[in-house]
Each structure stands twice: as C-alpha cells, then as structure tokens.
Amino acid sequence: MSRWPIPPLLALLLLAACGGEAPERAVVEEVRAAPLRLSIEAQGELKAAVATRLTVPGQGWTSRQLVWMVPDGSRVAAGEVVARFSAEQTRLERDKALLGLERSRLSRLAKESELALGDGRLEVDRAQVEGQLAIASRYAQAEFAAIARNVVLDAIADAEYLGEKREVLDWRKGQSAARGGAELRVLDAQRQSVEANLRVREADLDALELRAPHEGVFVLTANWTGEKPQLGAQVFAGNDFATLPDSRALEVELSLPQLEAQGLAVGLPVRLHPVGAPEQGFEAPITWVASAPRAVSRNNPVRHLAFKVAVPEDVVRQRPWVPGQAFVGRVILKEAESALSVPNLALFSENGGHAVQVLTRHGPERRAVVLGVRGPARSEVIEGLAEGERVLLTPPAAAGGQDAGAGA
C-alpha cells in the first residue's frame, strides 16, 4: 500500500462554482508537494543461496514408493538416513533377470551337450573310415599275382572313396565347431545382457535409502504443481526430492503479479520479516530480478515476477531461521522529502503517455503529464502539474475512456 503525501483534498464542486462547464459533481484533489513514500507488499519464502540437491536414489527412471522420511525442515547430520523407499516393480524385474540367467545357463549346457554329441558321432564315423581305409589301402597295394585282379581294383576304388569320405567328415567337424562356437557366443552374449540387467536391478534394490551427504536442514522440493512428496507417493529415480541448504547463506525469494511489478529493480530497498513476527524485521536491497514473469501454478493464470533479497550475515547469525519459512516483504519504490503525486484513479492513457483532467475556472482541462515512479495507488508526477492545481479523480469517459489505474 502507498502512503499519500497529505490527506487528499476532496471537494464536491457545484456547476456554478466551476464556471458552468464542470460536471455537476466532481471529486478533486489539490496537488501538493509533500513527503512521498511509495511501496508495495509481496509474499515470499526463505531459501538458501547455496543448497545440495538430493534426488530419488536409483537408476534409469525406475519407479519407487516413499515409505518413510524425516520431517520437512529437520536438521540432519552427515550420513543420516533421511528417506526410505520400496521398489516392488524392480524386485519383480530382478527375479525375472535371475530366471533369465538360469535359462541362459541351461541353454548353454544343452548346446554344449548337443555339440559334444555331434562331435562324438563324427569321431566314430571317422574312426570307422580310418579302419576301412587302412584295409582298403593294404589290398590296393597288393600284387595281381597274389590277389585276384578285381579284388585289387575294388580296394583301390574303396580307398579313393574312403579318403574323400574322411575329408568330408573332417570338413563337417570343422563346420560343426565353427557353427557351434557361434551359437555359444550368441548364448554368452545373451547371458551377459541378462547379467548386466541383473546388476542394474540389484543396484537399484541396494539404493532404497537416501542419506544426507553433509549436515544441514532437510527441505523437501515441490514438483511443478507446487506439491511436496507425501508418504506413499510414487516417485522416480533421478527426480528432485529435497535439498540440504547451507544455512549460513540465506535469501528471500518473493514474487509480485506482473502488473504490480513494473517498478522492480536491483538495488531497491525491501523491508522483510517472517510471517507473524514483524519484530524480527530487517531491511536489505533487491539482489536479483527475474528476466520474465511466469505462472506460479496451473490453477492461477496470473503471471508473477520473481525477485530475491539476500539476508545480511549478521541477521543470519542472530536469527534461528530455517529455509522454507514464509516471509512478507515491502518494496520501497520511492522515498522523497518533497514530491508531487496523484492517485492512479486520476490518470488515463493518451498517445502512448499519460494525462489528467485539471479543474480550472473554465472547467476540466486535459493535461499531459510525465510520471516517475508508479505505485499501486499513487504515482509520482515529474512534469505537467504545478502545486495548487486541482485534479479530477474520476476523469470523464470522453477524456480518454481508459483509467490508467488499471495499468498502473
């Protein structure tokens, strides 16, 4: 809220008192140079300037259920468990991986047995061929005088056939070994994939506790809807869960509706205090202003502009504040010992600027003005008005039709 420089001089002027051209009843204020203080109130939250980000433990966007956690805002020690989760889906997938690993082992044993059986048969066939080839070779080298000619010729033909059959058996053995090796490598690759999946699932099941990496204050992180994690809620590995702020460096983040935040700038003083504790107030300048406004929730279409105020170190040491506390801040837009100002109700837009209706002895007169700092209820006037002039607080619709108070 703004404090007016002096109580407004409100008068009800009759038509006869204003030269016959003023409205029948006109509400006016006499312009006076007086101390001016324009301010606007904002709501915010105490945060740590530096905070360690805590995420839901686990890998690969796996689902978890929150079963326990320390209260929001609790002080925790380094290594202390701050939350526990359950992962029944991951446990089921781990059991499936164990079953797949056993199937892979049995498949490899079956393939090895099949290959060994095939190699055994080839060895038997080759041994038979070797025996027959030895006999055929012996008869094939005999003289015709000792053995009948047809027996020798048959033995020579048998030796040639058996030699080719031995080569075929050797080729089949080589092919069987190559094909069997390839099939075993495929099974080994499948087993390695199952083992990798199993290691991931077991690592996930080993990561069902969240511990504090250092001492600090445990502060839950709200999601994009503005809600903080609740017991029994489903969460996903890797998502933001909480923060561990450094309580030695604090700042208050506040926000204002876009239409009310036009005068915000780095360096403007802000007087802040925790909600319900005005006696703990302090003053500090704005240290950061967001580059653009944004919506604060899905249910609120009004866009807000965020800004921050760093809490002085001596105040941090004196106060037992913790991140997450609600704060009220009053931004001091303008403080002057003497300045001219008018209520925003008296302003209207004109040719990209602003104007007022000044009441003269000839009636209302349109007057362009140059504004300084805009407040929520009053605005500073730099040019266009002189002390003692009277300004209509309700300009006629014909003068511009747009009350600048809507755009203040």
Number of C-beta neighbours around residue 18 at 10 A: 20
- Pick from 24-28, 140-144, 307-311: least confident: 140-144
| Residue bearing the bigger pLDDT, 203 or 365 | 365
Q: Which single residue is written with the structure tokens 């012996």? A: 138
pLDDT of residue 406: 40
pLDDT at position 315 is 93
Q: Summarize the confidence of residues 20-43 as an average pLDDT.
A: 80
pLDDT of residue 1: 40
pLDDT per residue as tens digits for the range 260-288:
888 889 999 999 999 999 999 999 999 99
Alpha-carbon gap, residue 307 to 288, rounded angstroms: 5
Q: What pLDDT sits at residue 21?
A: 47
User: For residue 356, what pLDDT is reported?
Assistant: 93
Which H or E run includes 301?
A: strand 300-310
* pLDDT tens for each residue of 156-205: 666 677 777 778 878 877 887 788 788 888 888 888 887 887 777 777 77
Instruction: Note the pLDDT tens digit of each residue in 38-70.
Output: 999 999 999 888 888 999 988 777 888 898 999
Residue 7 is predicted with a pLDDT of 43
Residue 346 has pLDDT above 60, yes or no: yes
Mean pLDDT for the stretch of residues 6-28: 47
Q: Find the range with the poorest average confidence among 195-204, 317-326, 355-364.
A: 195-204
pLDDT tens readout for residues 101-148: 888 888 888 888 887 887 778 787 778 777 777 766 665 565 555 555
Q: pLDDT-derived band of residue 227, with 50, 70 and 90 as boundaries?
A: confident
CB within 8 Å of 342: residues ≥ 6 apart? 29, 31, 356, 369, 378, 379, 381, 385, 391
User: 288 with 252: CB under 8 angstroms?
Assistant: no
Tokens of 17: 């008192």
What's the predicted TM-score (pTM) here?
Answer: 0.52
For residue 25, what pLDDT is reported? Answer: 63
Interatomic CA distance for residues 384 and 342, integer angstroms:
12
* Percent of the residues in the chain that have a pLDDT greater than 70, as a whole number: 84
- Residue 56 CA to residue 204 CA, distance in Å, equals 11
What does the DSSP 8-state code read for residue 403?
B
For residue 102, give Cα distances in angstroms to 98, 116, 132, 198, 352. 6, 21, 45, 12, 79
Return the percentage of the chain with pLDDT > 90, whole number.
31
pLDDT confidence band for 155 (50 / 70 / 90): low
Mean pLDDT of all residues belonging to the chain: 81
Partners of 76 in the beta sheet? 216
